[in-house]
Amino acid sequence: DSQTPYTALRAVELLEESGLPKGLMRVVTGQGRVVGTAIIEGADYVMFTGSSETGAKIAEQSAARLVDFSAELGGKNAMVVTDDIDVERAAKLATIACFANSGQLCISI
């Protein structure tokens, strides 16, 4: 959804209204391949949420500049259903777990 970034932008506005020094926290919107390098080149610390492939590239770029970096990388989790479980209920819960928040959770299965 093209309006999703507005949530983060508004959060920064509210934090600044609450006393956070202006410019201390920044939100940059756009495609990573377009804005990513410029962000890393100008940052003292990088936090990334997204794919493992992109995370590896950002880690490399951050390391080259000796900039601290942390990541929450995409992935899927396993769901184990044992033989003593109600299979219909497990299937329903698996569907919810897969598609809640459009599957855009780091804890999706």
Q: What is the pLDDT of residue 70?
A: 93
Q: Is the pLDDT of residue 99 over 90?
A: no
Write the CB contacts of 11 (distance below 8 Å, at least 6 apart in sequence): 27
Catalytic residue from among 13, 41, 60, 72: 72
Choose among 23, 64, 52, 55: nearest CA to 36: 55
Q: Is 53 a catalytic residue?
A: no
- Predicted confidence band of residue 105 (pLDDT cuts 50, 70, 90): low
Q: Is 98 a catalytic residue?
A: no
Kind and range of the H or E run holding 55: helix 52-64
Q: Is the pLDDT of residue 90 over 90?
A: yes
- Predicted confidence band of residue 92 (pLDDT cuts 50, 70, 90): very high
Q: Is the pLDDT of residue 1 over 70?
A: no
How far apart CA 50 and CA 66 sit, in angstroms, is 21
Question: pTM for the complete prediction?
Answer: 0.53
- Predicted confidence band of residue 68 (pLDDT cuts 50, 70, 90): very high
Q: Is the pLDDT of residue 66 over 80?
A: yes
